[in-house]
Amino acid sequence: SERTLVLVKPDGVSRGLVGEVISRIERKGLSLVALELKHVSKELAEQHYAEHAERPFFGSLVEFITGGPVVAIVVEGVRAIAAFRQLAGGTDPVEKAVPGSIRGDFGTEVQYNLVHGSDSADSAKREIDLWFPNL
Ligand code: ATP
């Protein structure tokens, strides 16, 4: 069993998709270990997306993530990291995410792709420490 960090991004929260995302996590057989509605500081956003610091969309990504509350969730279960990536679908909601995935069912734009999930065991550890330092 392993843990992953899931975010319902500001677009997902404002569109009322928090329950939908949690419901899919639970129906997949994964468990919720910690959950918080959080207003994200610029510092936290920049640390979370540090690997994208040199990308042209970095400024706009940080602005987006800090633009409204997110729901941060620590999810646990067998193969939780890959399992949530599968639930989320590919980064581009139209070209990559398939119907039946969260992004494939509800998204259209690459930036406003509703959810985040850690992409490896190393990122999961780093991100859980960053978002839930007391866990
Ligand atoms: P996440 O890390 O949020 O789960 P991901 O791993 O599917 O997403 P990354 O390539 O790590 O995708 O990009 C991180 C986030 O940056 C994306 O989820 C998306 O919100 C945003 N993003 C990625 N590419 C672009 C782009 N070309 N233009 C605007 N925003 C982008």
> Does ipTM exceed 0.95?
no
First CA to last CA across the chain, in angstroms? 17
- The C-alpha atoms of residue 135 and residue 76 are separated, in whole angstroms, by 13
Position 29, amino acid: G
pLDDT, tens digit only, all 135 positions of the chain: 999 999 999 999 999 999 999 999 999 999 999 999 999 999 999 999 999 999 999 999 999 999 999 999 999 999 999 999 999 999 999 999 999 999 999 999 999 999 999 999 999 999 999 999 999
How far does the centroid of ligand 1 lie from the alpha carbon of residue 111, in Å? 6
pLDDT for position 85: 98
Q: Does any ligand 1 atom lie closer than 6 A to the CB of residue 116?
A: yes
Whether 116 is catalytic is: yes
Contact assessment for residue 13 and residue 71, using Cβ atoms and an 8 Å cutoff: yes
